[in-house]
């Protein structure tokens, strides 16, 4: 379990770095705000995982499960249309959003697979919670991608999801 948590910690740190950096690069203000919030959440995930590792290393029981602190974030951004920017800026942001989508998809799949292989029910529940968080992030990014594609009448023939 400790190996899974160490890997999860590394993923969350990289997610934080990605969103923090890209929030400054994207052109669309809404996308930048979403990325800033995602960076903060990845940081909180890292802190949560570190606390779990410490409890497990000290032989203590896992003290509590995280609450669904992302509901406000999901509600705020899940139906929000991003502001209009030029098609050139949209296309640049679309590339970054697609990278973010793949990151969240990978995190979600990692937590899902780890949960399915975990025997300890408490640890399994934590991994499932982390999976749900990442799935929420993925859905928000997915909506932003769809909005750019539809707004710019891009005939890609597919969505990346």
Tokens of 112: 């899902």
For position 103, which CATH number holds? 1.20.1260.10
The C-alpha atoms of residue 138 and residue 153 are separated, in whole angstroms, by: 22
pLDDT of residue 79: 52
Answer yes or no: is 160 within a domain: no
pLDDT of residue 1: 66
DSSP run (H or E) holding 124: helix 121-151
The C-alpha atoms of residue 142 and residue 5 are separated, in whole angstroms, by: 27
Answer yes or no: is 69 within a domain: no
Answer yes or no: is 49 within a domain: yes
pLDDT of residue 60: 79
How confident is the prediction along the chain (161 residues), in pLDDT tens digits per residue?
678 889 999 999 999 999 999 999 999 888 999 999 999 999 998 998 898 888 888 887 766 666 654 554 555 555 555 566 777 888 899 999 999 999 999 999 999 999 999 888 877 888 898 899 899 999 999 988 888 888 888 766 555 54
pLDDT of residue 3: 84
Which structural domain range is residue 109 located in?
2-61+81-151
Phi-psi region at 60: left, alpha or beta (left = phi > 0; alpha = psi -120 to 50): beta
pLDDT of residue 57: 83
The C-alpha atoms of residue 70 and residue 123 are separated, in whole angstroms, by: 20
Answer yes or no: is 39 within a domain: yes
Q: Residues 6 or more apart from 144 whose CB is under 8 A from it?
A: 30, 31, 34, 82, 97
Whether the CB-CB separation of 45 and 130 falls below 8 Å is answered with yes
Answer yes or no: is 50 within a domain: yes
Answer yes or no: is 108 within a domain: yes
Answer yes or no: is 76 within a domain: no
pLDDT of residue 64: 65
- 132-151: per-residue pLDDT in tens? 989 999 999 998 888 888 88
Structural domains in the chain (count): 1
Answer yes or no: is 136 within a domain: yes
- 91-110: per-residue pLDDT in tens? 899 999 999 999 999 999 99
pLDDT of residue 72: 46
Whether the CB-CB separation of 96 and 26 falls below 8 Å is answered with yes
pLDDT of residue 38: 93
Long-range pairs, 106-112, Cβ under 8 A, ≥24:
106/11, 107/11, 107/12, 107/15, 107/134, 107/137, 108/134, 108/135, 108/138, 110/7, 110/8, 110/11, 111/8
């Amino acid at each position: 379990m400790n190996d899974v948590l160490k890997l999860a910690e590394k993923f969350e740190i990289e997610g934080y770095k990605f969103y923090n950096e890209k929030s400054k690069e994207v052109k669309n203000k809404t996308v930048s705000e979403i990325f800033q919030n995602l960076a903060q959440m990845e940081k909180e995930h890292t802190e949560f995982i570190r606390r779990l590792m410490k409890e497990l290393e000290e032989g203590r029981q896992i003290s509590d499960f995280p609450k669904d602190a992302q509901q406000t974030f999901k509600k705020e951004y899940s139906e929000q249309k991003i502001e209009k920017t030029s098609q050139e800026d949209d296309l640049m942001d679309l590339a970054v959003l697609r990278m973010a989508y793949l990151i969240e998809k990978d995190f979600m799949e990692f937590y899902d697979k780890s949960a399915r292989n975990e025997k300890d029910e408490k640890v399994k529940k934590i991994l499932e919670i982390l999976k749900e968080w990442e799935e929420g992030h993925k859905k928000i990014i997915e909506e932003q991608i769809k909005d750019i594609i539809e707004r710019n009448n891009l005939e890609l023939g597919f969505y990346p999801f």
